[in-house]
Structure 1
Amino acid sequence: MMRVGFVAFALCLAGPAAAHEDHCAAVMASVAEAGFGGSVTVTCEGGHAVIRSDTYPDHEKMTGIVATNEQVPVPADYGAPILLEPVLGQSPLTRDAALGVAVNGVPIYDYTGGGEMSQADLAHHQAQHDTLLTQQLDVCGGHAGRGDDYHYHVTPTCMIAAMENREENPIIGWAFDGFPIYGDRNPDGSAIGAGDLDVCNGQVDEVFGYRYHTSAEAPYIVQCLMGEVADFDRLPRVRPLEAADGGGAAPGEPPRGGVEDLVFTEDALGNRSMDYTYQGEGYFIRYAPAAQEGCFDYTTRTVTNGGAVQVGTYCR
């Protein structure tokens, strides 16, 4: 298997066409060397390396969330386009959706729940919107969003722990502008100095031109994109589930004050259940694959719906 380091070295020496191919090889190698090649595919076409997955990681999900939005993770077909010829831009780009994707195919958002921060917001920590501080995230650094898609808002600790090459300070993801994302340390294993990271949580890279990092302190992960993205407004989003008989599922509303003992369980047949307690009463969101492909049969009792038990079939 070709190592990412050798691919990266080639990027320094190659011309434009070869660099395009080597960037594709670097993206492919980052997924394969992490051990996610069985669940994530990478194809290079139209100037992008498309990382495709179902956004549903093998690691633990949802455990430890207090400020739940009463949404659950549901597999979703997701193709993340990574530019093969990244170019640094003049100003940071932000959006209220994913800014990149981890090597296990899970989307990466900024640390806020609302997203799309202004230039002034980027310069100052938005504590009231911090998904980590407000206890919206599970023990792995992610949660399910409005699209019922699982995604990360801070360092994806459980994914990193499962990576086969985790001891090598590897690439843990890619931003949509084409630049790689690393963990809390430099690729050579050295510590990142105070002030080394810019407003987007990145710094200059001698191989790729630029790279992003995770960090123990806010903003924890990619906060914005420093590269140019011509089709920025058309980057992918995971749409909410829709009722099989038409219409969309109403978004969950965070129960005031948070919930207790939230646990997400699943079995090999695809039966999944999120159970939790609110003000002494039990609530749940449960679903299983329906007869129609891409659809799921739900039974729920949520705070959002006043504790009424509801059933329905919802589809991707």
Structure 2
Amino acid sequence: MTDGGDLPGTYTCDGNSISPPVSWQGAPAQTTNFALLMDHQAPDGENHWYWIDYDIPAGINAIASGELLGTLGTNSVNGLNEYTPPCSQGPGDKAYTFTLYALSDHANLGDPTAADRDTLLTAIEDITLASASLTVSYTRDLDSNSGTESSTNGNISPGACQRISDSVTASGFSDVVVSCDENYAYITSDTYPDHDLMNGITGTNEQIPVPALNYAAPIKLAPQLANSPTTIDAAVGVAVNGVPIYDYSAQGELDIYNYDPNSDTLVLGQLDNCGGHAGRGDDYHYHASPNCMIEAMPDKADDTIIGWGYDGYPLYGNNNPDGSVIQNGALDVCNGQPDTSYGYRYHTSEAPPYIIQCLVGEVDTSILPRVSPLNGDNTGARANLTPPQGGVDNLSHVIGQDGSRTMSYDYRGQNYYVTYRPSTSSANCYDFEQKTVSNGGEIETGTYCR
């Protein structure tokens, strides 16, 4: 990019929706850190901002495309701590300005989730040594099909991107973002649902849900049936609230033709009242019907799409979209059936396999996202956890007003717990304290990060 030039489409919602590369030189010698702002002033004078990055170390003079450095503030599109791509809804050129600030001290912005444009500019007003700006323009061709559906013959036709976006919008979960390129719609979230979670579990693995920022689930815009089903030792799709969907098992890839109750997370008591739990990465996901999510949706009905398989086919509830009951034997091995609108659709069910068991469509498993375990666990405190034999009693998960999360439970007459709260030392880090059965009841502490 050059000042006065164009913003490449790959950094917008019509492309890959990733942050662009930026570099600089000539900062004052007294610089201790940098802050970066990308914003746009609308014709009505209202400011929009897409990228706030601060506490960038003074020794840094470049950020690669998609790279995470420093601490991310909010954006004005969805309020999340992430880069969000410009996605203008009106015609004509739109100007976007990148401004880099060389600072003499660290900006005191407090909670990063409240670090908006005005907060940043106020915090750095008296500590800015120098600044430099670069302004670029982007024009969306609103009459073209950029960023929408890729049809089965390889041509781009409008529809799929909008349908996926509409399914998320209709769900009412405003903290979920949909962006599209020529091949995929990306449902991006922190995987942490607004509904009650973890309560009702007896077979706990002693993991606790921790937000996983910028989890981007790729949904194919032009689904095509594959020659054989695909089973994955990870998520097979995503719910419209941005929570990943797994098959019923906790044992990796399935023998999809032979149900195994010994690996059924529901039978083993590992799922909460809402059909989900925290996995090995302290990440929340569903293994059965996301009933609490469905209950929270404002316009829930039998024809409401509640999720998407990674192969591009939609997920519905226990009934057919027209409200009729699904007859025994109508669902195939992946828990779906043919559909006149999409070619195929998945369903949830009361009986195993409960939800998407495998993918009938073509899918590139190499690009599918996975939530990694928390960083900084040098002692293995969060890595060496296994379900206590025989299960636990009285498990309770509580979210405190101070942002803390606490999961407590009883095992053989003793109380155990895992609790964490956002760390003040760095963004996306959490201060943990735990007393687990797996680790012999020792009280352990540590700060772990995403």
- The gaps in structure 1 that reach 5 residues or longer are 1-10
Preserved CA contact (<8 Å) 2:156 2:182: no
The structure number with the bigger radius of gyration is 2
Preserved CA contact (<8 Å) 1:244 1:295: no
Q: 1:45 aligns with which of 175, 181, 195?
A: 181
Distance in 2 (CA, whole Å) between partners of 1:14 and 1:66 is: 45
1:31 aligns with 2:159: no
Deviation at 1:251, TM superposition (A): 3.3
Compared CA separation, residues 248 and 302, structure 1 to 2 (3 A): closer
Distance in 2 (CA, whole Å) between partners of 1:225 and 1:52 is: 21
Distance in 2 (CA, whole Å) between partners of 1:62 and 1:248 is: 20
SS of alignment partner, residue 160 of structure 2: helix
Q: 1:124 aligns with which of 258, 275, 279?
A: 258
Cα shift readout 1:158-202 (whole Å, capped 9, x = no counterpart):
001011121353000000000000000111111111111100001
Partner amino acid, structure 2, of 1:237: R
Cα shift readout 1:203-231 (whole Å, capped 9, x = no counterpart):
111011111000010000000000001x2
Cα shift readout 1:135-156 (whole Å, capped 9, x = no counterpart):
0000000000001110000011
Preserved CA contact (<8 Å) 2:302 2:317: no
Give the alignment's Cα RMSD to 1 decimal: 1.8
Compared CA separation, residues 128 and 213, structure 1 to 2 (3 A): same
1:8 corresponding residue in structure 2: none
Distance in 1 (CA, whole Å) between partners of 2:203 and 2:382 is: 20
Partner amino acid, structure 1, of 2:199: T
Distance in 2 (CA, whole Å) between partners of 1:165 and 1:126 is: 35
Cα shift readout 1:86-107 (whole Å, capped 9, x = no counterpart):
0000101011110000000000
1:210 corresponding residue in structure 2: 344
1:61 aligns with 2:197: yes
SS of alignment partner, residue 31 of structure 1: helix
1:83 aligns with 2:223: no
1:112 aligns with 2:249: yes
Distance in 2 (CA, whole Å) between partners of 1:154 and 1:112 is: 10
1:171 aligns with 2:313: no
Name the stretch that deviates more: 82-91 or 243-252.
243-252
Compared CA separation, residues 246 and 282, structure 1 to 2 (3 A): closer
1:197 aligns with 2:331: yes
Deviation at 1:246, TM superposition (A): 9.0
1:282 aligns with 2:415: yes
Deviation at 1:233, TM superposition (A): 3.0
Compared CA separation, residues 267 and 186, structure 1 to 2 (3 A): same
Q: What is the number of residues matched between the two proteins?
A: 299
Cα shift readout 1:261-299 (whole Å, capped 9, x = no counterpart):
000000243211000000000000000001210110000
Q: 2:270 aligns with which of 136, 158, 173?
A: 136
1:294 corresponding residue in structure 2: 428
1:233 aligns with 2:374: no
Compared CA separation, residues 102 and 144, structure 1 to 2 (3 A): same
SS of alignment partner, residue 385 of structure 2: coil
Preserved CA contact (<8 Å) 2:384 2:439: no
Which structure is richer in relative contact order (CA contacts within 8 A, separation 6 or more)? 1
Counterpart mapping for 1:254-269 below 5 A: 254-269=387-402
Preserved CA contact (<8 Å) 1:137 1:143: yes
- The gaps in structure 2 that reach 5 residues or longer are 1-148
Compared CA separation, residues 23 and 311, structure 1 to 2 (3 A): same
